[in-house]
Chain A
């Protein structure tokens, strides 16, 4: 067995034994279950309101038939995706950071390096271990979310829906690996683990919260509760015609948003799951045509984070820092 595989196995064992990690993941799973449950109950309430309205119409002798609210099960995942985007990234940082910080605090780093270890085996093995861990976690969370949709939401989940949940899972894995890889790189780079953690948290703050927040508040449609165009009952075609006069501002706003991996992850996932109305009930090919450049960007960012982790987590660097 290669030294990288040994490190990967050790990382998995360490993560399995870490009660804090298990507690954090339990919290995340609970938040996702609660969010799907709340969204399901909200839909039931809408349906009940609809039936009450129809009953009133019948009693008043009206012949008008309002449109029945339709359940799109994957849209119940919206809040769960947002939790993964914000809190999941935070947990991914914790896991990436702990990978090296744990070895340093136990003093096992020097011991490990007394063995014959390849230049990138340590960081590579740790990344493999974290990758396997996130794969298990993402599969578990997808299963939990789908089961909650089916049981609490009483939704019919088609094979097509399962494929889309699987695609969302792939992007969740890439997103979480980005943050864990970045945290691992920073912890390898900085002498004090706490400094690395604070820098990672500042980056999380900027790219998960601040940049998307600026993009959101610069959106003209977000200036009025419920949306400016909806409040004025303006059709989509008219909205686009108006916004065409502000193309430069919109490019700036969009440029800001796409500089954040969180926003890219959100856009891709919301599109494939049909949470964004434009992509609801559209084919995967249609969604892919609109999203492929974001997909490339997410792949590139995750690869870059892992590359940084390999570079700063090599034997020479971490031993120098630990000394």
Chain B
């Protein structure tokens, strides 16, 4: 157990010292911080647009934007988790694996009575802790921003929803970090190890849902009912972990009520578990040895 703790502590220390992924962490936390402000400004303006439409006599329907929950302002955060958070988690995972391979420290550590599973488990434990700290900071920043926008502290039910979104985000990002470690362990060249999961992520996020840049809009698209889109979404949506994350998170942040969130949550947890198990099952010869730049 002490070996496991030592690996976790080493992983946290190494991440604190590694500069390049910190750039991604900075972008992620920064975007989460401004997300509430962007959401607030936009919703206020749209509410004004709607009032103007009513004033011009173009509709008599009541303004749907006046009574939105304050969590509605944070809905852009969902997109930043999918776009920035997952790339940050991949970069952290790849760096973690490459760091040891380049310095050949795994060979040294494994010359001691340390089981490879303990080494890999400690690594993913360290990464999960780092991601927990990042997501925790992001959630705290969101809570403060939303409270400032609202002019009062968030209520307990709204705080609970924000926390649930944070936990889901953490589970989602751990899967991508484990995928990054896997890539760093299995691919021979440093560049390929970094790029392969990035390209995989791009396909998962953009090509699979057949949405193109529609991903960038947190507002749900009108469902396409014509044959080919219906069949494609039927086939690809259950596989698209990013789309499932978007759907559940929208419900959590008081978006439009959707179907039961449990299958989507199960898919996200299964994705993270599968990546972690695959990483833990890495053979010893893959953990040892250097790497080409």
Contact = CB atoms under 8 A, between A and B. Distances in A.
B206 A217 contact: no
B49 A217 contact: no
A210 B24 CA distance: 13
Contacts of A209: 83, 216
Contacts of A41: 227-228
A202 B24 contact: yes
Contact of B212 (A82, A101, A198, A226): A82
A195 B20 contact: yes
Interface of A is mostly: helix
Interface in B52-97: 52-53, 56, 58-59, 61, 65, 76, 79-80, 83-84, 87, 91, 95
Interface stretch (B1-9, B151-159, B217-225, B241-249): B217-225
Contacts of A283: none
Interface stretch (A84-92, A109-117, A166-174): A84-92
B46 interface: yes
Interface stretch (B127-135, B139-147, B164-172, B188-196): B188-196
Contacts of A194: 20, 95, 98, 190-191, 194
Interface in B151-209: 189-192, 194-195, 198-199, 202-203, 206-207
A212 B206 contact: no
B17 interface: no
A228 B47 CA distance: 11
Contact of B221 (A216, A217, A225, A246): A225
A242 B217 contact: no
Contacts of B42: 217-218, 220, 223
A245 interface: yes
Given A205-B84, A234-B58, A94 B195 contact: yes
A224 interface: yes
Given A101-B293, A205-B84, A220-B49, A45 B213 contact: no
Contacts of A45: 226-228
A197 B49 contact: no
Interface string A197-230: 1110110011001101110111010111110100
Nearest to A238: B58
B250 to A, nearest CB: 12
Contacts, number: 170
Nearest to A20: B192
B197 to A, nearest CB: 12
Given A42-B224, A86-B213, A232-B59, A220 B229 contact: no
A14 interface: no
B210 interface: yes
B19 interface: yes
A216 B191 contact: no
A224 to B, nearest CB: 7
B122 to A, nearest CB: 23
Contacts of A315: none
B18 to A, nearest CB: 10
Contact of A234 (B53, B83, B195): B53
A232 B53 CA distance: 9
Interface residues of B, number: 63
Contacts of A202: 23-24, 27
Nearest to A235: B58
A38 interface: yes
Which one of B207, B213, B232 has the greatest number of beta carbons of chain A within 10 Å?
B213
Contacts of A245: 48-49, 52
Given A78-B212, A83-B207, A105-B292, A246 B49 contact: yes
B21 interface: yes
A24 B23 CA distance: 26
Nearest to A223: B46
Given A38-B228, A210-B84, A193 B191 contact: yes
Nearest to B98: A194
Interface in A97-126: 97-98, 101, 104-105
A90 B199 contact: yes
Contacts of A289: none
B83 A216 contact: no
B207 A31 contact: yes
A105 B293 contact: yes
Contact of B226 (A49, A101, A222): A49
A243 interface: yes
A242 B49 contact: yes
B45 interface: yes
Contacts of A86: 202, 206, 212-213
B269 interface: no
27 contacts: A35-B210, A38-B210, A41-B227, A46-B226, A87-B207, A94-B195, A194-B194, A195-B20, A198-B20, A199-B20, A199-B23, A210-B31, A210-B83, A212-B213, A213-B76, A217-B38, A217-B76, A217-B216, A222-B217, A222-B219, A223-B46, A223-B219, A238-B56, A238-B58, A245-B48, A249-B45, A266-B213
Top 7 nearest A-B pairs (CB, nearest first) are A82-B212, A45-B226, A105-B293, A213-B216, A41-B228, A198-B20, A226-B222
Interface of A: 20, 24, 27, 31, 34-35, 38, 41-42, 45-46, 49, 78-79, 82-83, 85-87, 90, 94, 97-98, 101, 104-105, 192-195, 197-199, 201-202, 205-206, 209-210, 212-214, 216-218, 220, 222-226, 228, 232, 234, 238, 241-243, 245-246, 249, 266
Given A87-B202, A228-B50, 10 more contacts: A42-B224, A42-B228, A86-B213, A87-B206, A98-B191, A202-B23, A202-B27, A210-B83, A223-B43, A246-B52
